[in-house]
């Protein structure tokens, strides 16, 4: 798994974002060296995307960051109704790709702030005034990191015989994670690194969806400074949630049980399934299976089954002309009235209205 390492400060900055709801057959656009990062988060369905020689199936609950310096393209069309968020961002600082265990021999070039990817800077969604502000901020932060001599020519104070002050200094000369640098006038926080997985299963998908939904809702007023500032704060939350997913890559106790339960429910969704039958099939107590699924998916086995049945029902409503009562039967509902009630509760409209809306769009 490749990891993207960003040098901070300055922090990566938000550009713009959106939400996409695509029917079967839709493809991710093909682009080359766009000059900004493209974060894709799939809430429902699956996107099929390639970057150079790598192919990614970005399924529900997964995220992919497409690099600004490479060619990315669709490897196939969506096979079902697919809901996803996209978010463009960039950084005025340096960044690099660190190879994972599977690609340890790959080259990992570092990209500096004054060497934009693809031979051109990031101009999408950024005005000239914003670029000037970023340049000014970067200059100040470079000074804070000790890269620019103090304009007054002052030497840093001596601290117990040392020329620079590092807080939390440990024995053996290794500093702590937090350090301060003397600039001739004051102490400021030194630079640090941000590591994000390029492709990952989200540790807390619901929180990521919520943050991205808030970001997207603010886009209509993004010309206001206060709104842009709020979007930047929400974007930092998204980065933090992505970083947490790195620590969640190792399997956790019960995760395998939850995945097996999900596979069983997907395989048998057309048939009547009870919690007792699921536990017997997995050879675990139903209460333990339910606990594992709540930890993994945030819902009970029967809630997971209901959602999957309704997703399959939406696919049939869009791709076939089957009557509603046959769609219900094909997706495990014994009564059409109960199917309509469940569908309305989840989607806010009846199966027939849902079909008509998308047929009109087509």
Q: Residue 45: give its domain's CATH number.
A: 2.60.120.10
The reply to whether 259 and 188 lie within a common domain is no
> pLDDT (tens digit, 9 = 90+) per residue, 154-172?
344 343 333 333 333 333 3
The reply to whether 140 and 289 lie within a common domain is no
- Token pair of 322 as six digits: 């089957």
- Token pair of 299 as six digits: 């819902």
> pLDDT (tens digit, 9 = 90+) per residue, 320-360?
989 999 999 999 999 999 999 999 998 899 999 998 887 76
The reply to whether 24 and 137 lie within a common domain is yes
Kindly state whether residue 114 falls inside one of the protein's structural domains: yes
- Specify whether the CB–CB gap between 261 and 287 falls below 8 A: no
Q: Residue 288: give its domain's CATH number.
A: 1.10.10.60
The reply to whether 189 and 296 lie within a common domain is no
- Give the position of tokens 């968020």: 85
Q: Residue 44 and residue 59: Cα distance in Å, rounded?
A: 7
The reply to whether 60 and 197 lie within a common domain is yes
CA distances to 113, 117, 128 from 121, rounded to whole Å, are 9, 7, 12
Kindly state whether residue 93 falls inside one of the protein's structural domains: yes
Check residue 2 and give its pLDDT.
83
Kindly state whether residue 236 falls inside one of the protein's structural domains: no
Q: Are strands 180-182 and 31-32 parallel, antiparallel or unpaired?
A: unpaired
Counting every residue written for the chain, the total comes to 362
Q: How many domains does the chain have?
A: 2
Phi, then psi, of 91 in degrees rounded to 5: -140, 145
Check residue 221 and give its pLDDT.
94
* Angle (nearest 5°) at CA 210 between 209 and 213: 85
Kindly state whether residue 121 falls inside one of the protein's structural domains: yes
Check residue 159 and give its pLDDT.
36
According to DSSP, residue 159 is labeled B
The reply to whether 187 and 294 lie within a common domain is no
The reply to whether 8 and 134 lie within a common domain is yes
User: What percentage of the chain reaches a pLDDT higher than 90?
Assistant: 59
The reply to whether 350 and 267 lie within a common domain is yes
Kindly state whether residue 240 falls inside one of the protein's structural domains: no
Q: Residue 172 and residue 59: Cα distance in Å, rounded?
A: 46
The string over 192-228, giving b where at least 16 C-beta atoms fall within 10 Å of a residue's C-beta and e elsewhere, is eebebbbbbebbebeebbebbeebbebeeebeeeeeb
The reply to whether 197 and 323 lie within a common domain is no
Check residue 323 and give its pLDDT.
94
- Specify whether the CB–CB gap between 245 and 203 falls below 8 A: yes
Kindly state whether residue 7 falls inside one of the protein's structural domains: yes
Cβ-based neighbours of 18, under 8 Å, separated by 6 or more: 85, 86, 216, 219
- Specify whether the CB–CB gap between 352 and 344 falls below 8 A: no
The reply to whether 44 and 126 lie within a common domain is yes
Check residue 132 and give its pLDDT.
38
Check residue 71 and give its pLDDT.
95
Last residue of a domain, one of 201, 234, 264: 201
Kindly state whether residue 315 falls inside one of the protein's structural domains: yes
Q: Residue 199 and residue 174: Cα distance in Å, rounded?
A: 32
- Specify whether the CB–CB gap between 46 and 9 falls below 8 A: no
Please give the residue range of the domain that contains residue 76: 3-150+179-201
The reply to whether 197 and 259 lie within a common domain is no
Closest CA to 121 of 68, 70, 52, 198: 68
What averages of pLDDT result for each successive group of 10 residues across the chain (362 residues)? 84 95 92 94 95 93 95 93 95 86 41 42 36 38 39 38 34 40 50 89 93 96 95 96 79 80 94 94 94 92 95 92 94 93 92 84 56
The reply to whether 192 and 306 lie within a common domain is no
- On the question of a cis peptide bond just before residue 278, with omega within 30 degrees of 0, the verdict is no
Kindly state whether residue 247 falls inside one of the protein's structural domains: no
């Amino acid at each position: 798994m490749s990891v993207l390492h960003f040098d901070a400060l300055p922090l990566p900055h938000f550009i713009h974002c959106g939400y996409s709801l695509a029917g079967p057959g839709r493809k991710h656009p093909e682009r080359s060296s766009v000059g900004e990062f493209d974060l894709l988060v799939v809430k429902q369905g699956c996107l099929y995307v390639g970057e150079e020689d790598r192919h990614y199936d970005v399924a529900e609950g997964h995220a992919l960051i497409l690099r600004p310096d490479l060619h990315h393209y669709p490897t196939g069309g969506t096979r079902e109704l697919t809901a996803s968020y996209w978010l463009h961002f960039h950084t005025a600082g340096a960044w690099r790709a660190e190879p994972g265990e599977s690609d340890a021999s790959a080259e990992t070039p570092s990209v500096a702030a004054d060497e934009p990817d693809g031979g051109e800077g990031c101009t999408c969604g950024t005005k000239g005034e914003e670029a000037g502000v970023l340049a000014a901020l970067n200059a100040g932060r470079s000074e804070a990191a000790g890269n620019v001599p103090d304009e007054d020519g002052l030497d840093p104070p001596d601290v117990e015989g040392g020329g620079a002050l590092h807080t939390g200094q440990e024995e053996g000369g290794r500093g702590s994670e937090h350090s301060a640098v003397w600039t001739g006038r004051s102490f400021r926080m030194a630079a640090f690194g941000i590591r994000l997985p390029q492709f990952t299963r989200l540790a807390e998908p619901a929180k990521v969806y919520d943050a991205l939904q808030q970001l997207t809702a603010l886009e209509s007023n993004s010309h206001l400074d206060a709104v842009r500032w709020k979007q930047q704060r929400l974007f930092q939350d998204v980065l933090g949630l992505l970083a947490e997913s790195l620590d969640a890559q190792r399997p956790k106790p019960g995760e395998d049980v939850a995945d097996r339960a999900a596979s069983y429910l997907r395989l048998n969704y057309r048939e009547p399934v009870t919690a007792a039958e699921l536990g017997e099939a997995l050879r675990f107590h139903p209460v333990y299976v339910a606990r594992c699924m709540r930890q993994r998916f945030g819902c009970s086995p029967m809630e997971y089954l209901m959602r999957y049945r309704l997703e399959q029902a939406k696919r049939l409503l869009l791709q076939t002309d089957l009557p509603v009562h046959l769609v219900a039967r094909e997706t495990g509902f014994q009564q059409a009235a109960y199917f309509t009630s469940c569908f309305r509760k989840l989607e806010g409209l009846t199966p027939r209205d849902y079909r008509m809306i998308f047929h009109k769009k087509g």
